[in-house]
């Protein structure tokens, strides 16, 4: 079962991807993890990626796809995978489709976790992080015992720059410009499925299972 996860930043697609991976015993694959693993293991592809990253440049689509296809060739992907964070653009999606087709394979499901922008802003602006121990909270859904103080180490909690409403809105704008067209692309491919991401995350997962099973 080969699955692509779609959804805006903060929609919860990463959480759902991990649950899908655990349920079906298939790997949850993110480009960030692939980059880190190849760089850590000093592979040839990792060395190439590191050259771009060290210069603050984006890793080219062709190299990213090469790294992903290399990851798909690992034994744990024999029964499928959940791909999270790639593709982000139409050219990436087309290149992935072509590369899979050359192996006689294809994406089975593209699952879009649909959440309105205003809900995402509320979700993310409610997040609080402890910079000392890395614990994360949410003022509504997972509040600390004492407001503004980490339960684990007692340090002050902060609203990270990435979670500020103005930053979230910028990220959403980029998403709508670059990534949202993927929804139309996978719809044309006949593999798009959509779930309501505003529900409780366990209910969202049950909706996904109803699609996959």
Active-site annotation, residues: 13, 88, 127, 160, 171
Give the C-alpha separation, 1 to 56, whole Å: 35
Contacts of the segment 167-173: beta carbons below 8 A, 24+ positions apart: 168/9, 168/10, 168/120, 168/121, 168/124, 168/125, 169/117, 169/121, 171/9, 172/8, 172/9, 172/117, 172/120, 172/121
* Token pair of 96 as six digits: 């992935």
Whole-Å CA distances, 116 to 23, 26, 89, 123, 187 = 27, 29, 20, 11, 19
Whole-Å CA distances, 102 to 40, 55, 69, 89, 91 = 29, 33, 11, 20, 17
């Amino acid at each position: 079962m080969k699955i692509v996860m779609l959804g805006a930043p903060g929609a919860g697609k990463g959480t759902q991807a991990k649950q899908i991976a655990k349920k079906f015993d298939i790997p949850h694959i993110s480009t960030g993890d692939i980059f880190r693993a190849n760089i850590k293991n000093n592979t040839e592809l990792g060395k190439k990626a590191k050259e771009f990253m060290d210069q603050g440049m984006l890793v080219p689509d062709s190299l990213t796809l090469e790294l992903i296809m290399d990851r798909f060739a690992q034994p744990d992907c024999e029964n499928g995978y959940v791909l999270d964070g790639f593709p982000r653009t139409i050219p990436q999606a087309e290149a992935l489709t072509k590369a899979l087709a050359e192996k006689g394979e294809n994406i089975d499901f593209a699952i879009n976790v649909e959440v309105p922008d205003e809900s995402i802003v509320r979700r993310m602006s409610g997040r609080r992080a402890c910079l000392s121990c890395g614990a994360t909270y949410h003022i509504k859904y997972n509040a600390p015992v004492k407001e503004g103080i980490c339960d684990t180490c007692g340090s002050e909690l902060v609203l990270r720059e990435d979670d500020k409403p103005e930053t979230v809105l910028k990220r959403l704008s980029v998403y709508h410009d670059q990534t949202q067209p993927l929804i139309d692309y996978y719809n044309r491919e006949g593999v798009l499925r959509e779930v309501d991401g505003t529900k409780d995350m366990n209910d969202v997962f049950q909706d996904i299972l109803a699609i996959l099973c």
